[in-house]
Amino acid sequence: MILAIIIILYSGIILVDYIPVIKNRDKKIIWVYSIFLIFSFITLILYSFKMPIPSFYKIIMNII
């Protein structure tokens, strides 16, 4: 059920927001928007299947 909701919401986002970006033909914005859209979609799909999502907290704390 959650998977269907995620797919419907992302379909709406693509139809309403992403297609006008493609029509503007700005390559940089298209690439950035696509990467963020794909990353967030995959993260939500993994979260809906209750898979552990790695935290960046430990990596950042090791760098600092």
Residue 45 CB contacts under 8 Å (≥ 6 apart), including other chains: 3, 6
Please report how many Cα atoms fall inside a 13 Å half-sphere around the Cα of residue 47, on the Cβ side: 10
d(CA 18, CA 63): 35
Confidence tier at 51 by pLDDT (50, 70, 90): confident
The pLDDT of residue 8 is 93
Whether the CB-CB separation of 2 and 48 falls below 8 Å is answered with: yes
pLDDT at residue 56, as a whole number: 74
> pLDDT at position 38, please?
92
State the pTM of this model.
0.70
Tokens found for residue 64: 């600092």
Is residue 14 very low, low, confident or very high in pLDDT (cuts 50, 70, 90)?
confident
pLDDT of residue 64: 76
